[in-house]
Structure 1
């Protein structure tokens, strides 16, 4: 980082710098996963436009944000996704990534790479067609797999697979997915099902939650090297042969909050200071659409940052 970038970097009240911004650019999706929380459906004509996203990103750049991740819903469902990436790339962020389900990735991977996308995470929970339909309610396994391989082929790097493990559904497929990932130079992230206080979600979790502890013990025996990501909840990365598996657990500890450097923007254009809260959102897109000057928009952005506080602080 050069001196100018360091000087521009903004910290919240807890001395946590804002380094990355995650923008949900749609909550529309082309699959319906079992574990998805379905945060409503925003009509496409109400979504942020590429120019509106660009204005928000310019502010982010001015306060020292270095990394941008686009998510959804399914971000590739937007027909202007390549334009969004191209505009983002013009601002010279250090890292631009997308989280996708991979279904449309074969179609867009080359154009996205050419537009400036650096890497992609693909939510992909199984290699079994029947299980894929059970999880997603759709028959797009072939397309998702082809999209993943196309992303590797065009040079998006690293390509990561996000595999949510569910008891009795795909918990017996870890090594199959690891071998597929290893063969194709992909990093596999195994994700523990997130618990919720919502009664309906809790019943789902009780039925399908898969304990990762025994699996981690096995991985430790197989690994030639284990790396702990200190500033990412102490996540463990297991290096087995020429492959890599990372364990991702729910974000329910003080260390995660202490080291959180991410801000979020919702599909509705609101600043979301904390992943685990919805009661302190700050409306930004309304002011963007009303044509407020950049300095005033920046102050709204800073107000959102000042709303940040550790969710777990014990």
Structure 2
């Protein structure tokens, strides 16, 4: 079967989606300034898939070859059917991971997850101080998160902490790692903010300087040497501070698939920002068609869609031109080289963003927290002045 990718014929590739991310709801009690959910999530909150529909998604994805299941949101614990989903995932042979803020996790529920076969719980932490935790999430959850961490440990789950790093907590890396060690963490991901969704809107307020990133990585490496294999620590460098882009999602439509709360099927978190693309929905033709035959999933497979300098670049197999969403959000052209790449004609956009991170006037702009009111503002155009530098609602 052949399709047209931007006017170029391309063959459909039947790859295997190893990882299924189920974004089962966009509802969330936290209001994080860096949330990766779409800023226009309010229009996607209606018509959440039912329990039965989610179970069908799990079954269909397993038939396609999916092995790992992430249960995410929003805050997935706001749904009362995760226990049923976990049981079905276990029957189907998934390795399942609950990605949570901890809000809504009780002794009763965690016991049910354990009995149902949930393999893994990833808990988000935000800082060592109550002040910054509560500020950046716009909620009072600091003490709750520590209690939930202890609950996870007491039920013999691997202690997996995810800490999003930004200007407000990057000076606390050593203390954050010491806190994780005290909590008995087995794995810690220091995930430097990547600028999509709400974090792109708040980029000027969140982005650290290059010097802060370098120092944070140095502190992380020193801590790794001290603890050895006792605790695995991952430091994720932000795209903006790399000379070459990442191979986004290990390739568009290659190994990763998201099903959103309302049933849309996406190759990456931010794909709906891309213009002139209609993404499939599981209520229509199902997952197999979405993955194998839909125009959206085949749009950026392979390299026939590439423009220069990517088309003839000797490194194109390593990065596939970078992230299509980032290319569009920053340059307005989804087929262009990711501006992160130093060879991109739009690399100056990244350089300016890094310089802006040092500007105290920009840093002092008010943060637009993730909540229903602000999502509606973005949808209505009331917040256009805050997103005027970007080419789409991220």
The alignment's TM-score, normalised by the length of structure 2, stands at 0.63
Residue 171, structure 1, aligned to residue 179, structure 2:
no
Identify the structure with the greater strand proportion.
1
Native 8 Å contact 2:36 2:269 kept in 1: no
Query: How many residues end up aligned between the 2 structures?
Result: 278
Identify the residue that residue 302 of structure 1 maps to in structure 2.
Answer: 292
Residue 182 of structure 1 corresponds to: 181
The residue number in structure 1 matching 2:371 is none
Q: Given that residues 31 and 137 in structure 1 are in contact (C-alpha distance below 8 angstroms), is that contact kept between their aligned partners in structure 2?
A: yes
Match of 1:161 in 2: 161
Higher RCO (Cα < 8 Å, 6 or more apart): 2
CA RMSD of aligned residues (A): 2.9
- Cα distance in structure 1, aligned partners of 2:103 and 2:165: 20
Q: Structure 1 44/79 Cα, relative in aligned 2: closer, same or farther at 3 Å?
A: farther
CA distance in 1: counterparts of 2:199 and 2:291, whole angstroms: 32
Separation (CA, whole Å) in 2 of partners of 1:264 and 1:281: 15
| Residue pairs, 1:213-292, within 5 angstroms | 213-224=214-225, 240=228, 242-250=230-238, 253-258=245-250, 261-278=255-272, 279=274, 280-287=277-284
Tell me if the contact between 1:96 and 1:117 (Cα under 8 Å) persists in the aligned partners: yes
| Corresponding residue for residue 88 of structure 1 | 89
- 2:19–2:256 Cα contact (<8 Å) kept: yes
> Rg bigger for which structure?
2
Distance 1:177 1:266, change over 3 A: same
Alpha-carbon offset, residue 57 of structure 1: 1.1
SS at match of 1:21: strand
Q: Secondary structure at the match of 1:56?
A: helix
What residue ranges of structure 1 are gaps of 5+ in the alignment? 1-11, 226-238
Q: Is the 8 Å Cα contact of residues 23 and 265 (structure 1) preserved in structure 2?
A: yes
Offset of residue 29 of structure 1 = 0.2
4+ residue segments displaced more than 4 Å: 12-16, 42-45, 200-203, 256-260
Give the structure 1 partner of residue 31 of structure 2.
32
Q: CA deviation at 1:284?
A: 2.6
C-alpha separation between the residues in 2 aligned to 1:111 and 1:308?
41
Check the 8 A contact 2:22/2:258 in 1, yes or no: yes
2-side partners of 1:217 and 1:155: how far apart?
32
CA contact (8 A) 2:48 2:262 kept: yes
Distance of 1:45 and 1:254 partners within structure 2: 33
Contact 2:33 2:199 in 1 (8 A): no
